[in-house]
Structure 1
Amino acid sequence: MKRIYLKLLTIAFTLAIASCSLDDDGTNFQYAPLEITGASLPDTFELGRVYSIDVKILRPDDCTMVDRFDVSRSFTDSTQIRTVSAVGIILDKEKCNTVDDEVQDSFQFEVLYDKPYVFKFYKGSDDQGEPEFLEIEVPVSQKP
């Protein structure tokens, strides 16, 4: 009985492996930062709350899709700094049509510190290739 079970398992495994195709269909992609054109934050954060941060992102063509946000943190003695960039997937296609479309997306943000937060949203690069940011500072209040 064990031998029959082992043979059936081997046949099933072989069929499963053989049915998988590793052929390349020619669709490749790369990740790239996308331009953030605007963000909506409250006037004040409340310590301990979770907020949904709405962000407007420029989608330059129909080969570009918004994938996720990359948020890095740093701080000074008096401020919490969050640098936010939108990460896009750009499909490697021969022809992409320009759309210049603004897409709205959001991410969740939990207020953990009582110091003000400065959000630096990546807007793109200037003529010298230096990154430019939209900066928004939000003070934090204690719970009532």
Structure 2
Amino acid sequence: MKIIFRILMLLTMTAVILNSCSLDGGEAPVVNYQVLPVVEVELPLAFTFGQIHSIPVIFEYTNSCQQFAGFEVSSDLNERVVTVVAAVTNRDCVEELVTTQQELRFLAASNGTYVFKFFTGLDPNNEPTYLEYIIPVEE
């Protein structure tokens, strides 16, 4: 009897789950990703070795369909190239310039200095441009 009850419960739960995932209500939004230019960065004069630092990064959305998706950080030894990534949907976008800020968390895990390059856009030759900072690490 318990086995029959469990099978019926499993079938009922499966039917509810399958019905709740229907896409009949309309077309699902398409999500793409875009790189957004950094406007300003607030870096400390020095990092403390072994500590996590919050770095305010200020950037601009260009339309209402963009949402912050995260930072892309590529590293080469003590150099970091930071790019802001936005998720973009295809739903009724309104062109608007909105300045916003997100915190980049960074662990100063080595001695010496760090070079940070924050992507600011492309120049007339389609070459990337950056805000560049050299930050020493103190013990």
TM-score normalized by the length of structure 2 = 0.89
Trace 1:1-144 onto structure 2 (pairs within 5 A): 1=1, 2-23=3-24, 24-75=26-77, 80-93=78-91, 95-142=92-139
Deviation of 1:100 after TM superposition, in Å, equals 1.6
Structure 2 counterpart SS, 1:89: strand
CA RMSD of aligned residues (A): 1.6
Deviation, structure 1 residue 26: 4.3
Mapped to 2, the partners of 1:130 and 1:46 lie a distance apart of: 33
Give every structure 1 segment of 4 or more consecutive aligned residues whose post-TM-superposition deviation is greater than 4 Å. none
Q: SS in structure 2 opposite 1:38? A: strand
Give the direction of change, closer, same or farther, for the CA distance of 1:26–1:10 in structure 2 (3 Å limit): closer
Amino acid in structure 1 at the alignment position of 2:111: D
Identity across matched positions, percent: 28
Distance 1:5 1:59 in 2: 51
Aligned pair in 2 of structure 1 residues 40, 18: CA closer, same or farther (>3 Å)?
same
Q: What CA distance in whole angstroms lies between the structure 2 residues aligned with 1:96 and 1:140?
A: 43
Q: What is the SS of the residue equivalent to 1:139? A: strand
2: distance between equivalents of 1:9 and 1:56?
Answer: 50
Match for 1:35: what amino acid?
Answer: P
Q: Deviations over 1:96-126 (max 9, x none)?
A: 3332221111121110000200000000111
Q: Secondary structure at the match of 1:13?
A: helix
Distance in 1 (alpha carbons) for counterparts of 2:98 and 2:29: 23
TM-score (structure 1 length as normaliser): 0.86
Whole-angstrom distance in 1 between the partners of 2:110 and 2:71: 21
How many pairs were matched up? 137
Unpaired stretches in structure 1, ≥5 consecutive residues: none
One-letter code of the match for 1:120?
K
Please list every run of 5 or more consecutive structure 2 residues that lacks an aligned counterpart in the other structure: none
